[in-house]
Each structure stands twice: as structure tokens, then as C-alpha cells.
Structure 1
Amino acid sequence: MAVLIQGDLNNVLIEKKPIDMDKSEWDRLDKKALSTIQLCLTKTNNVLQKVLMEKTTFTLWKRLETIYATKTLVNRLVLKQQLYTFRLKEGEHLRDHISQFITLLKDLKNVEVQIDDEEQVMLLLCSLPHSYKSFRETLIYGRDNLSFEDVKGYLLIKDKLDNEFSSNSKSDR
């Protein structure tokens, strides 16, 4: 949605063209919005394949909503399972991991599943591999609570420092 808004294309998410708009202008905007969404989906090829046959932005958007935003029990359970089994593998980028974690939280919120702040903290910290054990222990030692935003911030700072240290180590060789 943000990409469509940025391109001033979100107005084509309606089923029929506005009365005061020229058909050729409507078709141009619709094709532009449709291709914008398709380009955003190229990273998730399996999703793109499910919606590639849609011919209008409206039908594509509705199809994506049925895939991602249905509030069925099955969808909620699948998303919860993805969140509770989500793990950072050694060597993967922490920044990407946090971004994917936040996406899972947003997907759950879209299907009306609320994960409170303390549980978000616990799930994020538990998703980290064994190499983060001392960091995790240092972070929680002597605290009664931590906010998700605080933990995310500490992890991003650690990631930045680790990357700088790694870069400096390579240049010293």
C-alpha cells in the first residue's frame, strides 16, 4: 500500500473507474499500479505465481487480501506457527531477521491477533541463535521489563558494531 500511495496510485484500488475520469487515464493508472505491485512481489515468486493472472489492480489486491488477510482460524494458526518457529540462522543478517519478524507481527495484527510487547521481546530474543546467548543474558540481567523497541534498538546497535568490527578486521589483514 505504501508503494502505491508513494506513486499516487492507491486510488485505483476501487472496482470501477470514477465517473469524472477518462477511461484511457484510468487504464494507464491501473496498469501502472498493477505492475508496481507485481514488481514488489518478484522477491516472493510463489506469491507472484498465484496472482499473475489478475488483470486489474482491484482484482489483484483482492486476491492478495484473500491470501494474506483472511481472518480464518487456519490463517491465524499458520501465522502464529511461523512466528513461534521463526529463527535466525548463523550467518544470516540480523537486520533482515528483525525486518521479517516485524512483518510477521504486522501480518498477525492484520488478522486481528495481538501479541503483547513482552511476548514480542521474548519471541525475538528466543529467535536468536546460541551465539547471542551472552548478549541475551546481558540484556535481561537486572531488568524487570524490556520494550520491543528497546530490544530491537539494542540488536541493531550490536549488528552495526559487529559489522564495523568485521570490516575493520578485514582491512587490517
Structure 2
Amino acid sequence: MDEQEVSTNKIPRLLGQENYIRWKVLFEAAINYNDTELWCSIKDGHYIPSQATGNNETIKRQMKKRDDKALSTLKLGLSWEILTRVNYHTNAKYLYDAVVEMFEGNVELRDIKKGRLKQQLNIFKFKEGDRLKSVLQRLMTIINEIRTIDMQISDFELNKKLLSSLSGEWFMARKFIKEKVNFPNLKLDDVISFLQAAEHEMIENHMIREEKQSFPVTNALVAPMGNLSIKSQ
């Protein structure tokens, strides 16, 4: 049987490159939701209580117990093929870092990738013949990569980039969105939803204009025929 993307204990399962981005986001969300301290052990290393009391040995045992649980949880989120490549790590953070490096590269490569993505975002623009759907698909491909390498960029910056990349026919829609009182606080999803609604309205208006333009042509062809005299045979 093929492995399922979500394991029986509801932990998102990493199967390969094709679902890595989705897995990284959902895995963090699932672990954080159930146990924030467990995620700290995976992401930052052994969890250390902020107000630790008792002797050092007790604290060490607590840390080890939590890290063992974090390590097991992480292993349950990996396919067998991936797990066998990183299973030599005995610490949750090292194992997680190894998985990230497997799919994203090391720190140097990630820095190079960040630079490349930043450049792609800077030069992103509307292409001749583009519909809104294709513009969004190209932009979201870049954004999804940005979000998986801990590259910080605000919705405000993304909204400005999206609006500035659209062609002149979007002038009124852009103007309306930018003049909204809360534009700096709008979510990217909100701007996308408005643009999709605006596109639908633009298409309807275009169809109406075409229909109106077709009537004079039809009348010009039909009217003379009505004025023709019919001779009796």
C-alpha cells in the first residue's frame, strides 16, 4: 500500500519534494497546536523551562524525555524512504535540520535562494496576454517558496507588488484598493478576492459593450432589405 500524506496519528507525513512545502507548514502547525514546547525542541533544540527549579539532573531528565518525544513525533511524520536517510540523528533538532537541508540545501544555499527569490519578486510583472489567474499562479509560486525558507515579507509589500504588476486596464481596481482606509493592513487573500471580483465585472462589461456594438451592424444589414419593393410576377 502507498503511504498516506497524513499518518494515522494525524501528523502530516512528508513523502517527497512534491509535498515538502505543504508538509513543512502543516507539520509545524500540528505540533504547535498540540504542544508548543514540543515544537521548541524540534526547531530550537532541547526545551528548557524558563523558571527551572530542582537539581540539574532532574532538569536534564525532563529535557531528554521531551526531546525523545519530539524525535519520535518527527520520525512519525517522515516516509520510510526519507527516514532511512536521516535516522542516524539522535536529537530532534538535528533530525529536523537534516530534513530541511535535504529539501532546501544548507545555510549558504538557502541564502543564495533567498537572493534569487527576492530578485524574482522585484522583477515580477504582467505579461502580454496574461489573465489574472496566470498572474496569481506565477506570483504564488514565488511566495510559497519564500514562505518555506523563513524569508520575511509582509502582506503589504506583496499587495503593492501584485497591484503594480497588473496592466493598465486594472487602473480603477488598483485605485480603489489603494484608497481604502485600511490598505496597509489588508491581507493578500483580501486583495486577491477583490481582484477576482473586479475581473468578473470587467468581463461582464466587456460582453455588454460587444453586444451593443453588434446591434448597429445587424440593423445596417437588415434595414435595406425591408425597404426593397417586391414585384409581382
TM-score by length of 2: 0.44
1:113 is displaced (CA, Å) by 0.4
Give the aligned partner of residue 5 of structure 1. 5
**Aligned-partner Cα distance in 1 for 2:202–2:135:** 15
| Residue 151 (1) aligns with residue 219 (2) | no
Quick one: structure 1 residues 13 and 123, their matched pair in 2 at CA, closer, same or farther if it must change by over 3 Å? farther
**Aligned-partner Cα distance in 2 for 1:142–1:66:** 38
Name the SS for the 2:129 alignment partner: coil
1:151 is displaced (CA, Å) by 0.7
Which letter does structure 1 place at the counterpart of 2:5?
I
1:65 is displaced (CA, Å) by 2.7
Name the SS for the 1:72 alignment partner: helix
Equivalent runs, 1:3-152 vs 2, <5 Å: 5=5, 10=15, 11=79, 13-14=81-82, 16=84, 65-66=103-104, 71-145=109-183, 146-152=186-192
| Residue 161 (1) aligns with residue 201 (2) | yes
Quick one: structure 1 residues 16 and 147, their matched pair in 2 at CA, closer, same or farther if it must change by over 3 Å? closer
Deviation string for 1:80-137 (max 9, x for gaps)? 1111111112421111211221221110111210211111111111111233222211
RMSD (CA atoms): 3.6
Q: Residues 173 and 195 of structure 2 are in contact (CA less than 8 Å); yes or no, is this contact kept in structure 1? A: no
1:158 is displaced (CA, Å) by 1.6
**Aligned-partner Cα distance in 1 for 2:170–2:151:** 28
Quick one: structure 1 residues 76 and 158, their matched pair in 2 at CA, closer, same or farther if it must change by over 3 Å? same
Flag structure 1 segments of 5+ consecutive residues without an equivalent.
18-61
TM-score by length of 1: 0.56
Name the SS for the 1:149 alignment partner: helix
Question: How many equivalent pairs are there?
Answer: 125
RCO comparison, higher one (Cα < 8 Å, 6+): 1
Name the SS for the 1:91 alignment partner: coil
Quick one: structure 1 residues 104 and 15, their matched pair in 2 at CA, closer, same or farther if it must change by over 3 Å? same
